[in-house]
Structure 1
Amino acid sequence: MPHTPAPLAASDVDWTALQNFAALRGQLRVSFGPRCNIACWFCHNEGDVPPPLTRVDRSRQPRPRRLDADGYLTLITALMRAGMKRVYFTGGEPLTSHLARPVLARLPEPGPDVSYTLITNGTRVRTHRSWLAKTQLDKVKVSLHYFSDESLHAIAGTRVGIKAVLDGIETAREIFERVELNTLLQRENAHEVRQILDFALERRMPVQFIELVGTDFNESRASSAVPADAIIAHLRTLTADEHTEVAGVGQGRRVFRIDGVEIDVIHRNLGRHHVGQCGTCPLRSKCVEGLWALRVDHDGGLQPCLLRDDLRLDVMESLADPARLAEVVARHIASFTEGTL
């Protein structure tokens, strides 16, 4: 049964910042934990220590888990009642987590304009298809950063074959009406980007091409990042239907439409959404994202910025009272936008 906490009580909290963020299509990104069955070199693990670093240095471990299934559901529901409408489930790989099913199978009924999206590498979709088909999820976004065993091994350090990923995509298409792809542009897959595009167009799946966001976790291979110029030039040979979007939160994007299929490119040259705290942020010069997601981690933390874990809010003590929980988050986001955290 869907998880439904008690209704939130009225309060004198200023909800403006949180509700404006939601109205601008801000995301609530819910991480089930750091575990993953592959180890992409660029992984930032939603701000936690990613699998590739733990593999080479066992002393570098992610945060311990404190949040259980009921805690996740309380937090998600409280923030949805406070106005959040776009919920994304991430990991690591979310389908490696023992909490994926007890959370996803009990999501609250979505209200108007609410969407639930699962972000996955695709390799576990077939294993979990029977219960996934019964969830409230309305979209699956598969990370397809490779199109051969060779590039999959070079990027993800795994012996899992590309067939497992492609099979996961086809399985997701059998279950869900909307399946999308996302591809990080990099030197290791530059020769396969057009193949990925053709694969998406043949199946009428939207695909997003993304320029690398630099973090401390991936700086050792920053030279692998490539600009979006080549794919943009190619898309312009396929369609004249192009526009740019810079409104709302997050990076600006170029949007192409080919025979009704949307292809977008997250392009750093189009700017980003910075507010409040960003004005004095010491990391602003290398930030290409700004505030676009509230990130919830398995240790009960919520932070408004990938690069600033010092702005992370611990919500564990507030879980027993959903009304207070929503208020605490609203105050935190208000402080962030006012630059007073």
Structure 2
Amino acid sequence: MTLLTLSSRPTPPVSLTALRNFAALRGQLRVSLGPECNIACWFCHNEGDVPPGTTREDRTQQPRRRVLCAEHYVTIIGTLIDQGLTRVYFTGGETLASKLAKPVLEGMRQFAAPDVSFSLITNGILLARSMPWLRDTALDKIKVSLHYFSDQSFRGIAKTRLPVSTVLGGIDAAREAFGRVELNTLLQKQNEHEVHAILQYALERRLPIQFIELVDTDFNASGQSAAVPADGLVAHLRTLTREERVEIAGVGQGRRVFTIDGLEVEVIHRELGRHHVGQCGSCPLRPQCVEGFWALRLDHAGGLQPCLLRDDLRLDLTELLATADAPAAIATAVAGHVASFTEGTL
């Protein structure tokens, strides 16, 4: 497969103000390579598509049909990088469970630049076996989801018989190959008794960690009673350090950042607010929205979504990929979509 080289293409003559403002506020491009996954966490939202766990329990609920190939992904991602987006996160499902992971991640090398970052979000299970080719990609960061710290909680949360040592081994493999490895942990009743142990694990290994309060979606509605607020963790962190700051600038939820012996521990805390734009003003789902506009989400069916809760605001890019100048057409469409979303005219 020959991957397109886009960095030399001229910028199409469109208004990019809203898109570039979003990028300047540290907005993310989250790229889902598909719903494939080797576990089935109950809270998964699959970037707005039907999650693997939901399909496993009810075969009538299937994710969208795959449309994009590796070259399509490279075209779209490269176009958006050319137009100002600099923070790209690869997600799933489980990114490394996708057959497209290797060609897409290797295709990012042509866009590597000092101001562009590529992050892999993974459950860690396939990290060790993928390391021989992963270390040669343009990835800047590996972010491992560590929502469990025992075989029992791993089984209860992720519906798997694998030992949690599989994940911890993947973290060790990533630490040997990458300078930047981080953790994230969703606060929930199933791991409430292990949160302090996970924190200690991160501190001992000098791994920055982010604790997250549950984001409500239709897919996790049945488990929302398992959500745990961050207040207790925040109180505990204040016994460990006096270095605390609040970040509410930019996009996404506000966060508390604690520095313990030089290591940052973030807590995504819903009481700190979020970044809303024009389209959010009249949105019927705003009362349950704790995130606002912080990411553009590209899915395997060729859709680009500015909001996790509103798939009716999804932009279909598939027809544009077949045009004579696909990058120019995609840049124009995305810039217009973001502008309309920001202004509240979609």
TM-score class, shorter-chain normalisation, is: over 0.9
**For 1:151, which of 138, 142, 153 is the aligned residue?**
153
The residue aligned with 2:214 is: 212
Deviation at 1:317, TM superposition (A): 1.5
The residue aligned with 2:182 is: 180
**Kept after mapping to 1: 8 A contact 2:112/2:138:** yes
Output the CA distance in 1 between the equivalents of 2:123 and 2:45. Answer: 15
**SS of residue matched to 2:144:** strand
The residue aligned with 1:254 is: 256
The residue aligned with 2:201 is: 199
Deviation at 1:10, TM superposition (A): 4.4
Query: How big is each residue's C-alpha offset from its partner over 1:97-125, in whole Å with a ceiling of 9 and x where there is no partner?
Result: 00000010121232232100000000001
Query: How big is each residue's C-alpha offset from its partner over 1:199-221, in whole Å with a ceiling of 9 and x where there is no partner?
Result: 00001110000000011101111
Output the CA distance in 2 between the equivalents of 1:175 and 1:243. Answer: 31
1:241 aligns with 2:243: yes
Deviation at 1:333, TM superposition (A): 0.3
1:27 aligns with 2:32: no
**SS of residue matched to 1:273:** coil
The residue aligned with 1:323 is: 328
**SS of residue matched to 1:181:** strand
Output the CA distance in 2 between the equivalents of 1:306 and 1:282. Answer: 14
Deviation at 1:2, TM superposition (A): 7.3
Q: Structure 1's 72 and 207: CA in aligned 2 closer, same or farther, altered over 3 A?
A: same
The residue aligned with 2:40 is: 39
**SS of residue matched to 1:295:** strand
Output the CA distance in 1 between the equivalents of 2:259 and 2:3. Answer: 37
**Kept after mapping to 2: 8 A contact 1:2/1:105:** no
**Kept after mapping to 1: 8 A contact 2:105/2:138:** yes
**SS of residue matched to 1:136:** coil
The residue aligned with 1:98 is: 99
The residue aligned with 1:305 is: 307
Deviation at 1:12, TM superposition (A): 3.9
**Kept after mapping to 1: 8 A contact 2:12/2:331:** no
1:76 aligns with 2:81: no
For 1:284, give the aligned amino acid: R
Output the CA distance in 2 between the equivalents of 1:11 and 1:81. Answer: 10
Compare 91-100 and 109-118 and name the one that shifted more. 109-118
Deviation at 1:56, TM superposition (A): 1.2
For normalisation by structure 2, the TM-score amounts to 0.97
Output the CA distance in 2 between the equivalents of 1:6 and 1:244. Answer: 37
For 2:126, give the aligned amino acid: R
For 1:138, give the aligned amino acid: D
**SS of residue matched to 1:280:** coil
For 1:325, give the aligned amino acid: I
Deviation at 1:230, TM superposition (A): 1.1
**Kept after mapping to 1: 8 A contact 2:11/2:82:** no
**SS of residue matched to 2:128:** coil
For 2:334, give the aligned amino acid: V
Deviation at 1:11, TM superposition (A): 4.1
**Kept after mapping to 1: 8 A contact 2:211/2:266:** yes
For 2:14, give the aligned amino acid: V
The residue aligned with 2:344 is: 339
Output the CA distance in 2 between the equivalents of 1:208 and 1:336. Answer: 29
- In the alignment, structure 1 segments of 5+ residues that lack a partner are none
For normalisation by structure 1, the TM-score amounts to 0.98
The residue aligned with 1:292 is: 294
Output the CA distance in 1 between the equivalents of 2:158 and 2:276. Answer: 32
**Kept after mapping to 1: 8 A contact 2:49/2:63:** yes
**Kept after mapping to 1: 8 A contact 2:90/2:119:** yes
- In the alignment, structure 2 segments of 5+ residues that lack a partner are none
1:228 aligns with 2:230: yes
**SS of residue matched to 2:234:** helix
For 1:82, give the aligned amino acid: Q
Output the CA distance in 2 between the equivalents of 1:279 and 1:44. Answer: 24
Query: How big is each residue's C-alpha offset from its partner over 1:57-93, in whole Å with a ceiling of 9 and x where there is no partner?
Result: 1010000100000000000000000000000000000
Percent of paired sites with the same residue: 65
Deviation at 1:3, TM superposition (A): 4.6
Deviation at 1:4, TM superposition (A): 1.4
Output the CA distance in 2 between the equivalents of 1:72 and 1:305. Answer: 20
Output the CA distance in 1 between the equivalents of 2:260 and 2:134. Answer: 30
**Kept after mapping to 2: 8 A contact 1:172/1:179:** yes
For 1:97, give the aligned amino acid: S
**Kept after mapping to 1: 8 A contact 2:303/2:314:** yes
**Kept after mapping to 2: 8 A contact 1:36/1:96:** yes
**Kept after mapping to 1: 8 A contact 2:78/2:111:** no
1:276 aligns with 2:278: yes
Q: Which runs of 4+ in 1 moved over 2 A?
A: 5-12
